[in-house]
Amino acid sequence: MIKQPIINTIQHVDFQAPNKINLTDNIPLFWLKEDAGMTFKLDLVFKTGSIDADVLRLNAAFSLLFAGTPLKKANEINNEIDLHGGFYNVEVGLEESAISVFGLVMNFEKILKPIFEAFYNADFPLDEFEQLIKARKQKFNVNQQKVSYIARRAFMESLFEGTSFGRKITIDDFDKFNRLDLLNIYHNLIIKSFDFATLIGDVEENQIQDLSQSLKRLTDNADYNINSDFAPDRLNHKVIYLEKENSVQSAIRMGKILFNKSHEDYISFSFMNTLFGGYFGSRLMKEIREEKGYSYGIGSGLVQLRNSGYFFISSEVKKEHRQATIDAIDNEVHKLQNIVVEKDELMMVKNYMLGQLLRGSDGPFAMMDRFISTYKFGLDLAYFDQWIEKINGMSPELVQEMAKKYLSNDNMLIVSAG
Amino acid sequence: MIDFDRFTLSNGLKVLFHKSENTPMAVVNVLYDVGAKDELENRTGFAHLFEHLMFGGSVNIADFDGPLQLAGGQSNAFTSNDVTNYYDVLPAVNLETALWLESDRMLSLAFSEKSLKVQKDVVVEEFKQRYLNQPYGDVWHVLRKLAYLKHPYQWPTIGENVEQIETANLDEVKAFFNKHYNPQNAILCIAGNFDLTEIKDLVNKYFSHIPPGEKYNRSLVLEPVQDEYRTQTIERDVPNNGFYYAFKMPGKFQEGYFEADLISDALGRGKTSRLYQKLKTELNLVSEISAYILGSHDTGLLIVSGFLSDNTSFVELEENIWELINDFLIAELDKRELTKIINKFQTTKEFSEIGVLSRAMALCEYELIKSAEFINDEFNHYNKITPKSLNEWSKKILKKENCSTLFIQSKIS
């Protein structure tokens, strides 16, 4: 039997800050050149999302950005991009949206040319619009069959009640807007809400210059003022159960409004959250998956918003164990609030989180994500030194304090479907 | 260009080492040459169940996850019809912990009734969550049975049904371990900022004492060549009618595989593909359509799948798909179309080889099927494809009598 090797703790991580190029005084381009091999990835980030704009309209507008101009149909545009091995992706989030373009550096200009041409002349052709709506409706119907979707949607609608994001979406909503609405969103929202760009890839300086030029129309027009007051407050305990007769499983989504990384308790809470339900050896996993076998997976997390954040617990379980699981979760919360954690478990979570930090910093794509995660909250990479220090300094008492302060049932929203 | 070293221990364990200087992480990847295809017909789902059991404690180490997490690491695994792959990612300073853990569970597991019961429950839950309780969840169960009459590919990795998993017993589990989990059937890859000498020393320290065990000689039932068009229609509680066309194709890296890959791209990868343009954009017969290959090691499947638009019948779909395929076969691709799909392939390949984890996993798989060196030669096999060779293989693969088609009829009116 070979002796267990010594475990070394992590004290420091070498983070790579990207180069910052000021496209304008307020709009930066962040650029990482190293370790990307032959690849490049360009992200254009817009400070508009489904919280401050209608979710269906905004999603549709972003999805159709490359679907046609007055001169070129979608097919021609896509063929041009494809020909040079290019890929693009659009994503609409709660508070920001992004266009990502991928390819090999040797095809950099050849891919970006049709991308910018399509984007700047987006016309939202009627046939493309109609096809999209049709597909969205179909997807909506399929999703209505999935308990995880039903629970997630009900959870978000309740959490964001009173905001445009929180309204209930029905199949009829897809028929309530047209391409003119999308053109409106494009001209008055998308084109004006450019926030920053990131580039990973071994390109030349002159290519950066050309890229800045290509982005000029966005930088010139940027002026949209984000509703920075969005900070929902939920104070009431609420239980919602959406039964689905023939379902074999139930989906559970629980949570509440909390905060983001600018809050003084964020790091300590993150630690407590990891211990509670944020990794494979967590309290929730141990109890609900390993011990009771109710579920294939259960976890908890904290989603950050610009001025707020929300905590969630989610799982899919056997239908007959739905209530038992909710009770078991509640029981785990009580344990954490009332029983001080052992030093061993504390050590485990510390090392796990530090390992995760390292793991999430492997390679240029991860490095850029790390950097942006601090930039978005007005912080810089020094934040991670503070983070490492706080994690290393976590105590059993502090874990208990976080659980008592933030996991109480009083304002917990509990949704289950199935 | 991915550089690596190779050495073999006297117990048969193949070891690959990929040095990567700019990462603080280490990867330890262990590929076992066992998959769902090696299961008995009345004991399907076993390889996957076993994957779960591998995390339940080994002969000298009661808890796998604990020590690894303490070392700041993460572990996961996957099972396919062909292989079972385990990987650990952890800070480079703690590489030894992963080697210690992997070597002990290669040596033997801590077989216990409790562990077996818990993992059986978890796997059954997974079966329900991902297959039974999802719309279209059992498609692959049905399609595989249709396409493969004899070969063990006829059942999916999760298993044929829940009952076979529920009745698995500890003796069977032990027998499975002894048959498949030994150094001769494994390929180990370590990646990170290390030197070959230290890696050799460490691997010897942890793995050289493991007995070689018995070499597993695979002799699977051969799938007879398909020579008739097969179709099946099933009714399910789904909102939209779906379809799957499965064409037989060469196994991974065998002759014709690369052409088959590009054929699937030309037919159905992305919005500029033939099927998407014609059946979706132009004719609106489908709401979604795509083509792809499964990448299995033995005779594989090239799939065309999607969902029908509300007013399209299966008959209409049939007519149009075979007409499109016919057009595809009549004329060779022009250079531009071929260049497009080759370029897209190259971009995807380059991106897939950026992280150390992907590299370690790929090196093991390539070593198993052909050789690890092939990772650097692979693109040449795609790049040298001509419109002519693509057309020749299209004619061999895209025949009706080489196809099995599954229609999923919506019960909801």
Per-residue pLDDT of B89-131, as tens digits, reads 998 999 999 999 999 999 998 888 998 999 999 999 899 888 9
Q: Does A2 contact B281 at a Cβ distance shorter than 8 Å?
A: no
Q: How many Å apart are CA A131 and CA B287, to the nearest integer? A: 8
Q: Does B309 contact A134 at a Cβ distance shorter than 8 Å?
A: yes
Q: Which of A48, A137, A127, A136 is nearest to A93 (CA)?
A: A48
Between A290 and A21, where is the model more confident? A21
Contacts of A396 (CB under 8 A, 6+ apart): A340, A341, A342, A343, A346
Q: Does A142 contact B90 at a Cβ distance shorter than 8 Å?
A: no
Q: What does the pLDDT read at residue B301?
A: 98
- Tallying the residues shown for chain A, one arrives at 418
Residue B107 CA, chain-centre distance (Å), reads: 25
- The percent helix, strand, coil of chain B (3-state, each to 5) is 45, 20, 35
**Average pLDDT along chain A:** 92
Per-residue 3-state assignment (H helix, E strand, C coil) for A271-300 = HHHHHHHHCCCCHHHHHHHHHCCCEEEEEE
A212, A44 in Cβ contact below 8 A? no
- Residues of chain A in contact with residue B274, where contact means CB-CB under 8 angstroms, are none
Q: Which of the 8 DSSP states describes residue B241?
A: -
Residue A239 CA, chain-centre distance (Å), reads: 25
Does pLDDT of A355 surpass 90?
Answer: no
Q: What does the pLDDT read at residue A13?
A: 76
The neighbouring-strand residues paired with B7 are B15
Closest approach of chain A CAs to the CA of B72, in angstroms? 4
- Pair of tokens at residue A356: 């995760």
Closest approach of chain A CAs to the CA of B251, in angstroms? 26
- Pair of tokens at residue A319: 């239908």
Does pLDDT of A229 surpass 70?
Answer: no
pTM: 0.87
Q: Is A395 on the interface with B (CB under 8 A)?
A: no
Q: Does B347 contact A85 at a Cβ distance shorter than 8 Å?
A: yes
Q: Which residue of A has its CA nearest to B283?
A: A131
Q: In a mutagenesis test of the A interface, which of B2, B69, B279 is the best target, namely the one with the most A β-carbons within 10 Å?
A: B69
Q: What does the pLDDT read at residue A227?
A: 59
Does pLDDT of A233 surpass 80?
Answer: no
Q: How many Å apart are CA B179 and CA B171, to the nearest integer? A: 12
Q: Does B237 contact A38 at a Cβ distance shorter than 8 Å?
A: no
Q: What does the pLDDT read at residue A354?
A: 87
Q: What does the pLDDT read at residue A246?
A: 87
- CA-CA distances (angstroms) from residue B337 to B126, B146, B263? 41, 33, 11
Interface of A with B in 225-264 (CB under 8 A): 246-249
- Residues of chain B in contact with residue A283, where contact means CB-CB under 8 angstroms, are none
With a cut of 70, list the residues of chain B below it in pLDDT: 413
Q: What is the CA radius of gyration of chain A?
A: 23
- Residues of chain B in contact with residue A5, where contact means CB-CB under 8 angstroms, are 94, 96-97, 99-100
Q: What does the pLDDT read at residue B388?
A: 97
Closest approach of chain B CAs to the CA of A289, in angstroms? 7
Q: Does B93 contact A8 at a Cβ distance shorter than 8 Å?
A: yes
Q: What does the pLDDT read at residue A410?
A: 84
Q: How confident is the model at residue A265 (pLDDT cuts 50, 70, 90)?
A: very high
Between A160 and B94, where is the model more confident? B94
Does pLDDT of A163 surpass 80?
Answer: no
Q: What does the pLDDT read at residue B413?
A: 56
Q: What does the pLDDT read at residue A397?
A: 97
Q: Is A75 on the interface with B (CB under 8 A)?
A: yes
Q: Which residue of A has its CA nearest to B208?
A: A2
| Sign of the C-alpha dihedral computed for residues A110, A111, A117 and A123 taken in this order | positive
**Single-letter residue type at A414:** I
Q: What does the pLDDT read at residue A228?
A: 56
Closest approach of chain B CAs to the CA of A140, in angstroms? 10
Does pLDDT of A139 surpass 90?
Answer: no
Q: Does B71 contact A281 at a Cβ distance shorter than 8 Å?
A: no
Q: What does the pLDDT read at residue A352?
A: 86
Interface confidence: ipTM more than 0.85: no
Classify B130 as helix, strand or coil: helix
Q: In a mutagenesis test of the B interface, which of A40, A73, A82 is the best target, namely the one with the most B β-carbons within 10 Å?
A: A82
Closest approach of chain A CAs to the CA of B32, in angstroms? 22
Per-residue 3-state assignment (H helix, E strand, C coil) for chain A = CCCCCCCCCCCCCCCCCCEEEECCCCCEEEEECCCCCCEEEEEEEECCCCCCCCHHHHHHHHHCCCCECCCCEHHHHHHHHHHCCCEEEEEECCCCEEEEEEEEHHHHHHHHHHHHHHHHCCCCCHHHHHHHHHHHHHHHHHHCCCHHHHHHHHHHHHHCCCCCCCCCCCHHHHHCCCHHHHHHHHHHHHCCCEEEEEEEECCCHHHHHHHHHHCHHHHHHCCCCCCCCCCCCCCCCEEEEECCCCCCEEEEEEEEECCCCCCCCHHHHHHHHHHHHHCCCCHHHHHHHHHCCCEEEEEEEEEECCCCEEEEEEEEEEHHHHHHHHHHHHHHHHHHHHCCCCHHHHHHHHHHHHHHHHHCCCCHHHHHHHHHHHHCCCCCCHHHHHHHHHHHCCCHHHHHHHHHHHCCHHHCEEEEEC
> What are the strands of the beta sheet with B84-91, ordered from one edge?
B5-8, B14-19, B186-192, B25-32, B84-91, B74-79
Q: Does A7 contact B239 at a Cβ distance shorter than 8 Å?
A: no
Rounded to 5°, the CA angle B129-B133-B135 comes to 120
Interface size, chain A vs chain B, as Cβ–Cβ contacts under 8 Å: 179
Q: How many Å apart are CA B100 and CA A161, to the nearest integer? A: 51
Q: Does A362 contact B25 at a Cβ distance shorter than 8 Å?
A: yes
- What is the helix (H) or strand (E) element at residue B375, kind and residue range? helix B374-383
Closest approach of chain A CAs to the CA of B23, in angstroms? 6
Q: How confident is the model at residue A226 (pLDDT cuts 50, 70, 90)?
A: low
Contacts of B55 (CB under 8 A, 6+ apart): B64, B65, B75, B77
Interface of A with B in 7-26 (CB under 8 A): 7-8, 10, 13-14
pLDDT single digits (tens) A64-117: 999 999 999 999 999 999 999 999 999 999 889 999 999 999 999 999 999 999
Which range (A156-165, A327-336, B363-372) has the least confidence? A156-165
Q: Which residue of A has its CA nearest to B73?
A: A355
Q: What does the pLDDT read at residue A230?
A: 64
Tell me which residue in B135, B336, B355 faces A142 most closely, judged by beta carbons: B135
> What are the strands of the beta sheet with A309-318, ordered from one edge?
A238-242, A413-417, A249-257, A309-318, A295-304
- Residues of chain A in contact with residue B122, where contact means CB-CB under 8 angstroms, are 289, 293, 296
**Single-letter residue type at A172:** D
Q: How many Å apart are CA B364 and CA B15, to the nearest integer? A: 9
Q: Which residue of B has its CA nearest to A318?
A: B125
